Amino acid sequence: MEELYSDVSFRISELITRTYSTSFSIAVSYLSTEKKKAIHSIYGFVRVADEIVDSFHRYDKQLLLEKFEMDYYDALETNISLNPVLHSFQQVVRKYNIPDELVSAFLKSMKADLEEINYSHRDQINEYVFGSAEVVGLMCLKVFVDGDDQLFEELRSPAMKLGSAFQKVNFLRDLKNDKEVLERNYFPEIHRTNFDEETKKEIVRDIRKDFSDSREGIKRLPGDARLPVTVAYFYFRRLLGKISRTPAQKLLAGRIRVPGIVKIFLLIKAYVVCKLNLMRN
């Protein structure tokens, strides 16, 4: 029965992944079964924490997040949790030797989201992005390299750059909700001035550099990990391109999306690029 419970726990994390992110779920589907389960579990963990701070407005978010953190460490100590998301995640942490510094940094950034912070200094936002996105990339990298510590260290920096790029694209896409609902500003550039075309271009240039710095790492990922990461890379690059062509004021009025048919095209493109080793941009 314990094995059955673990199986159900992994399936719940998979359901969360498929429900919250169709694009990410499609990309992950090309991994081997065990790695797929692990990435679903990582996504489930970070998604639930993110939902606590971003969505549960009628509840005591701080209390919920503190309990979530406490329950996770209890699960890690006892090898079991009655929260299926935590039960599957703690198994992944153990199997792939995910360092606690990554998990604790993520939870620290989630706690920062409980405060009304306008990031006015680069070191502040760098710390937040490290915890909210770069460490998630490193958790996934731990799964992808599956025990190859030397390869992990070699790919650490590109993985962090890619996680940073993904997060900053999300920040730009969600400007309206962050500003009006969550009362957050993640860009020091916007703190210095109003959000206009020049400010947008400055932010986009920074994100493009992160993407550029991540490419060599994507090329060196182990076999079955390269395709899903390339799919995500192309998707977020396309989203950034669409954002860069959208007037700054329009970004403050709504959320930019990539149509489903374009996502299918990007999937095919990623497959061809990986198959023929054509990764360039």
Tens of pLDDT along 147-188? 999 999 999 999 999 999 999 998 888 887 777 676 677 776
Query: Would 104 be classed as within a structural domain?
Result: no
Work out the burial of residue 200: count CB atoms within 10 Å of its CB; fewer than 13 is exposed, 13-18 middle, 19 or more buried.
Answer: buried
What pLDDT band is residue 239 in, cutting at 50, 70 and 90? Answer: very high
**53 and 141 together in one domain:** no
Average pLDDT, the chain: 89
DSSP category for residue 118? B
Confidence of residue 269 (pLDDT cuts 50, 70, 90): confident
Is the predicted pLDDT of residue 51 greater than 80, yes or no? yes
pLDDT band at 194 (very low <50, low <70, confident <90, very high): confident
Q: What is the CATH number of the domain that holds 48?
A: 1.10.600.10
Rounded Cα gap, residues 38 and 139, in angstroms: 10
Report the alpha-carbon distance of residue 69 to residue 123 in Å, rounded. 25
Closest C-alpha to 112, from 173, 65, 58: 65
Task: Report the pLDDT value the prediction gives residue 143, as an integer from 0 to 100.
Answer: 97
- CA nearest 237: which of 187, 280, 175? 280
Look at residue 189 and tell me whether its pLDDT is greater than 80.
Answer: no
Percent of the chain with pLDDT over 90: 61
In a domain, 35, yes or no: yes
pTM value? Answer: 0.90
Q: Do residue 147 and residue 16 come from a single domain?
A: no
Report the pLDDT value the prediction gives residue 183, as an integer from 0 to 100.
Answer: 67
- Whole-number pLDDT of residue 119: 63
C-alpha dist (Å) from residue 228 to 29, 144, 214, 222, 266: 8, 11, 14, 11, 11
pLDDT recorded at residue 118: 65
What is the rounded CA–CA span in Å between residue 17 and residue 40? 6
Please name every residue paired with 145 in a beta bridge, in sequence order, or none if there are none.
none
> Closest Cα to residue 171, out of 192, 200, 197?
200
- Is 100 among the domain residues? no
Q: Are residues 58 and 197 in the same domain?
A: no
Q: What is the pLDDT of residues 66-104, one digit of tens each?
A: 999 999 999 999 999 999 999 999 999 999 999 999 999
Q: Give pLDDT, residue 175.
A: 80
pLDDT tens digit string along 97-142?
A: 999 999 999 999 999 989 866 666 777 888 888 999 999 999 999 9
Range(s) of the domain holding residue 23? 1-95
Instruction: Specify whether 6 is located in the same domain as 89.
Output: yes
Please state the separation of Cα 143 from the chain's center in Å. Answer: 15
Closest of 135, 126, 127, 86 to residue 106, by C-alpha:
135
The predicted model gives 18-29 an average pLDDT of 86
pLDDT at residue number 252: 79
Tell me, yes or no, whether 79 and 136 share the same domain: no
